[in-house]
Amino acid sequence: MTIDIIINSHLWFAANTAEGSLSILEMVVIALIYLGIFSVAGLFLVLLERRVAAWFQLRVGPNRVGFQGLLQTMADALKLVSKELTGTSKADMFLYNLAPYFVIISSLMALAVLPFTNEFQAFDINIGIFFLIAISSIGVIGVLLGGWSSNNKFALIGAMRSGVQTISYELSVGLSLLTMILLTGTLQLSEIVDVQKDGWLIVQGHIPAIIAFMIFMISGTAETNRAPFDMVEAESELGAGFHTEYSGMKFAYFFLAEFINMFIIAAIAATVFFGAWLSPFGITESIPWLGVFWFLGKTLALVFLMMWFRWTFPRLRVDQLLTLEWKYLLPINLVNIVIMALMVWLNLIIRV
Amino acid sequence: MDSTTKNSNFKTEEYQINMGPQHPATHGVLNLLLTIDGEIIKKVEPDLGYIHRSIEKMCERDSYQQIVHLTDRMDYLSSNINNEAVCLAVENALELEVPERVKVIRTIIGELTRISSHCLWWGVMGMDVGALSTFFYGFRDREMINDIFEETCGARLTMNYNVPGGLMLDIHPNFVKRVKKFVAHFKTKIPEYDRLLTQNVIFQKRTKGVGILTKEDAISFGASGPVARASGYSCDVRKYHPYSALDKVSFKESLKTEGDTFARYQVRIMELWESLSIIEQLIDNIPEGEHRVKTNAVIKLPKGEFYQKVETARGELGVYIISKGTKNPYRLKFRSPGFSNLSLLNHIAVGGKIGDLVAIMATIDLVIPDIDR
Amino acid sequence: MSYFSEIYNGIKTLLTGMSVTGKYFLNARKGVITQQYPDNRETLKMFDRFRGEVIMPHDDQNEHRCTGCQKCEIACPNGTIEIIWDRGIDEETGKKKKKIDQFVYHLSLCTMCGLCIDVCPTDAIEWGQNFENSVFDRTHLTRVLNKPGSKLAPGVED
């Protein structure tokens, strides 16, 4: 039914506007819809994190505002919006104001290419995975700018640590995704999902795929600066890291961007490893719109895994972070690519 | 200038940071002036005095029963043991013999206080290195001890249950049952603590080989308690100068020789086991008798100087009283364990990174009101 | 070779840690240790010896047991208790006797040490269990513990 609405509105637009502005108008409308859905989704992710954290810690979590606490983040967002936007006088005002926008824009742009179902994908470009990895790298600029322009020693230390961490772990993210691209032969996301109709990629490339999945989860958690790699914003060490000097809406941008990044990493893992909207043995093939629920279910399961990591493990020191990447993850990744290439060449893939 | 700055084209400078009085990692109001070069710490200067309340001066105007309630607020995590120290000093000065029942109950409550303090220490240690859930697990076990104290003494943190001459009230009839239930419950929890934190590879990499304190340094800085025992310096006051019922129980002194952060951690976990075994030896045969010996309403110590030391959860606490025969002491001084343990922070943290400093401070287990009094 | 065994042991310890928190997550419904405080006021019961605040119990004839001996005022470390007393004629014996006019108790200064209750010879004061004592105006924390129009119960001597 949604497809009919979309097709009808497309025809209505086509009948009423000029040629060039049609596609621009459509793009603006879709962008606004996505913005609306995902800002709210980001808020609900925050609430989910708080309740899951509470259950790990034998408490209840926010359950008073609204039914079971569903309106809690709305209340928090309202509070953040109404706060005074302070700033230090010695801060570099232009960069200080610019920094949060880098972070939030790069997160929201990456959402455009995720395949929710067969038809429900905003952009199906032929360099899908490459686009995703490239966009996530832009977020680093925002962090570094934020730390530098705050004119605060703590923020600077935090920003420098974050910069070095993100740059190192992007390598591992890219290489582990490359391992799976060897199986699919294409970077386009919808075709990656099509290849998985013979069985999810994690089943098709058995051992190297599992190793690639583990490496991807570890580096993905490190990319988004979450525990156990959250030295950057180590709350019990340096105050609040690079966003110490931000308050109000700008802080909300940083905060929201972190959660949306987490969602994106989980969504990429769900797409590439677990077959985005495909059901396990093709059980609900006949009802295509159920694909959204399968996609969200897999993504939320991986988000839960990342939250489990956060509330269990101590954090790694900065030099141990870098040792982990350069001495352990990178060599294993490279060897894994070779093994996967051998498997594809010798056709040792499991097809279901 | 070290070799990195001589050979490279970049001139790095050291800068100073305040790990300021309000900070999530320093347990209390402690200001640390760190001089850092990049990430390496060059100097640590503690800046004390933010919570000084002139307890020792107040003791000069209070009577001896009133001094006991002030010691609750010094090291509030081992408040019962602090009370016991002052009461023992006064009783030994008056040469007052307390009944056996009082001694046994004081020891049991002291060991329960030690377990409670170490539970909180474990929770905060996990939280400082980043595993945020350990805080709640430590507090959950501590709640059971707080319930025991609330039923018997009436309060959860500042108990004021010991008086010179015995205990203020006799123990509640449910005391023995609750303590036994707690011991049985806690024995299943310490292995869980081990599974969550101790054998975690990330935690071990954070703490092994970090902040090494040699035995000679421990002795020359005057360290005591688990900090010194982790370096191999055997200094447990409960073994060498036993008080209350501690000469009747048998327990092992927890010693380790490496002296790094992981050794200090392990010493405290071993102390948890030893305290449980002490409680088990005493809880079944609490002797019958009086819970209080009558003293005068106004206690006057004879002229002279008296010293009493006890082993709190942090180390050796000493109470030194100079009395001129009147009803207030002329001077009362507390030798606090935290003060001496803090002095070695500069020695062992230099050369490490900021993350190491946080781990080291978590294992030295400072409670700042104890240092500032 | 130790490279691989290090990795294997490391991953094993991490999974053991995750199993501990995972077990608590699965029992999260029943295993919460926090209480939903303002909602459970009806079923909340403090222990008998809980130190909430100092109260002076009065019996049915509005009589208390405080003879005004001032032992609690002397025992208190920081002047929380002030007793305003007067000498009056005792009805039964006709002699002059101390009587209290007002037993002033500053709840804002009290450290809940219990020395006053410990030293009272007639058990006139005891621990109350009310702990919700916050007020908007600090002068409301200065309480007069003996009720207006009450007098000493007969037969109480210190």
Mean pLDDT for A139-147 is 83
Interface-testing mutation among B196, B294, B327, with chain C (most C C-beta atoms within 10 A) = B196
- Which among C25, C33, C36 has the least Cβ separation from residue A56? C25
**Looking up tokens 């009450």, which residue turns up?**
C150
Task: Say which residue the tokens 């303090």 belong to.
Answer: B117
Q: Is B18 on the interface with A (CB under 8 A)?
A: no
B22 touches chain A (CB under 8 A): no
The pLDDT of residue C92 is 66
Question: Does residue C35 belong to the interface with chain B, where contact is any CB pair within 8 Å?
Answer: no
Q: Please, what is the average pLDDT of chain C?
A: 84
- How is chain C split into domains, by residue range? 2-33, 42-152
In 3D space, the residue among B275, B247, B240 whose CA is nearest the CA of residue B100 turns out to be B247
**pLDDT tens readout for residues A90-121:** 767 788 888 888 888 888 888 888 888 777 77
Q: Along chain B (373 residues), what's the average pLDDT of each consecutive run of 10 residues?
A: 49 75 73 82 87 90 88 88 91 89 91 92 87 87 90 87 88 89 91 87 87 89 90 89 87 88 91 91 88 86 90 91 90 90 88 84 88 86
**CA A70/CA C136 separation, integer angstroms:** 33
What span, in angstroms and rounded, lies between the C-alpha atoms of B251 and B234?
14
Helix axes B64-71 and B79-94, enclosed angle (nearest 10): 160
Distance from CA of A218 to the nearest CA of C (A): 12
φ, ψ (nearest 5 deg) of residue B47: -125, 105
**For C17, which residue in chain A has the nearest alpha carbon?**
A312
Chain B residues whose CB is inside 8 A of the C33 CB are 136, 139-140, 143
Q: Considering CB atoms only, which of A54, A59, A308 is closest to C21?
A: A308
Q: How confident is the model at residue A17 (pLDDT cuts 50, 70, 90)?
A: low
Cross-chain residue pair A312–C21, CB shorter than 8 Å: yes
Q: Which two tokens stand for residue B236?
A: 């447990």
Cβ contact C115–B155 (<8 Å): no
Residue among C5, C51, C158 with most chain B CBs within 10 A, to mutate: C51
Q: Which residues of chain C have pLDDT under 70?
A: 90-94, 158
CA of C92, closest CA in chain B: separation in Å? 30
CB contact under 8 A, A314 and B353: no
Between CA A97 and CA C136 the distance in angstroms is 42
User: What is the pTM assigned to this prediction?
Assistant: 0.88
What does the pLDDT read at residue B273?
92
pLDDT at C158: 64
Kindly state whether C109 is in contact with chain B, defined as any CB-CB distance less than 8 angstroms.
no
Expressed in percent and rounded to 5, the helix, strand and coil fractions of chain C are 25, 20, 50
**Contacts for A23 with CB less than 8 Å, ≥ 6 apart:** none
Domain limits of chain B?
Answer: 53-372
In this structure, which amino acid lies at residue B293? V
Torsion of Cα atoms, A311 then A316 then A322 then A326, to 10°: -70
Q: What's the token pair of residue B172?
A: 């509640």
DSSP string, A242-289: GGTT--THHHHHHHHHHHHHHHHHHHHHHHHHHTTT--TTSTTTT-GG
DSSP of A163-190: HHHHHHHHHHHHHHHHHHHHHH----HH
Choice between B86 and A287, residue whose per-residue pLDDT is larger: B86
Residues in C closer than 8 angstroms to B147, CB to CB, are 47
- In degrees, to the nearest 5, what angle opens at C-alpha B305 toward C-alphas B304 and B308? 140
Q: Which residues of A touch C20 (CB under 8 A)?
A: 312
Chain B: closest CA distance from residue A158 (Å) = 11
Q: B330 is written with which tokens? A: 């002329």
Least CB–CB distance from A328: residue in C7, C14, C17: C7
User: Looking at the complex, does the CB of residue C1 fall below 8 Å from at least one CB of chain A?
Assistant: no
Say if the Cβ atoms of A60 and C7 lie within 8 Å.
no
**One-letter amino acid identity for B36?**
I
> Residue A237 is nearest to which of B136, B203, B355, comparing CB atoms?
B355
Measured between CB atoms, which of C33, C50, C77 is closest to B62? C77
Of B129, B137, B197, the CB nearest to A315: B129
**Could C77 and B168 be called an inter-chain contact, meaning their C-beta atoms sit closer than 8 Å?**
no
What three-state secondary structure class fits A29?
A: helix
- Min distance B72 CA to chain C CA atoms (Å): 10
- Looking at chain C, which subunits does it touch, using at least 3 CB pairs closer than 8 Å as the criterion? A, B
Contact A314 B355 (CB under 8 A): no
CB contact under 8 A, B137 and A58: yes
Of residues A283 and B321, more confidently modeled: B321
Query: Which of B17, B27, B133 to mutate: most A Cβ within 10 Å?
Result: B133
Convert A154-184 to b/e letters by CB count within 10 Å (16 or more is b).
bbbbbbbbbbbbbebbbebbbbbbbbbbbbb
Give residue C126's pLDDT: 87
Task: Say which CATH topology domain B53-372 has.
Answer: Cytochrome-c3 Hydrogenase; chain B (1.10.645)
CB contact under 8 A, C21 and A56: yes
Residue at token pair 């470009």: A125
Please name the residues between 85 and 104 in chain C that touch chain B, using a CB distance below 8 Å: none
pLDDT of residue A236: 45
Which of C24, C47, C112 has its CB closest to that of B151? C47
Chain A nearest C-alpha distance from C80 (Å): 38
- pLDDT, tens digit (0-9, with 9 covering 90-100), for A193-242: 888 887 788 888 788 888 899 999 999 888 888 868 877 666 445 555 67
What per-residue confidence (pLDDT) applies to C150? Answer: 75
ipTM of the complex: 0.86
Q: Which residues of A touch B208 (CB under 8 A)?
A: none
Interchain CB distance below 8 Å, B130 and A311: no
Contacts of B129 in chain A (CB under 8 A): 314-315
How many Cα neighbours within 13 Å face the side chain of A99? 27
Tell me the pLDDT band of A16, cut-offs 50, 70 and 90.
low
Q: Which residues of chain B make contact with C112, given a CB cutoff of 8 A?
A: 155, 158, 160
**CB–CB contacts below 8 A, B to C:** 72
Question: A290-316 pLDDT, tens per residue?
Answer: 778 888 888 999 999 988 888 888 888
C89 near A CB under 8 A:
no
> How near does any CA of chain A get to the CA of C130, in Å?
26
C128 touches chain B (CB under 8 A): no
Q: Scanning every residue of chain C, which has its alpha carbon at the shortest distance from the alpha carbon of A332?
A: C4
Q: What is the CATH number of domain C42-152?
A: 3.30.70.3270
In contact, B274 and B248? CB cutoff 8 Å: no
Tokens of C2: 């130790």
- Min distance C29 CA to chain B CA atoms (Å): 16
Chain A residues in contact with B353 by the CB 8 A cut-off are 317-319
Question: A166, A253 in Cβ contact below 8 A?
Answer: no
Nearest CA in chain B to C6: B201
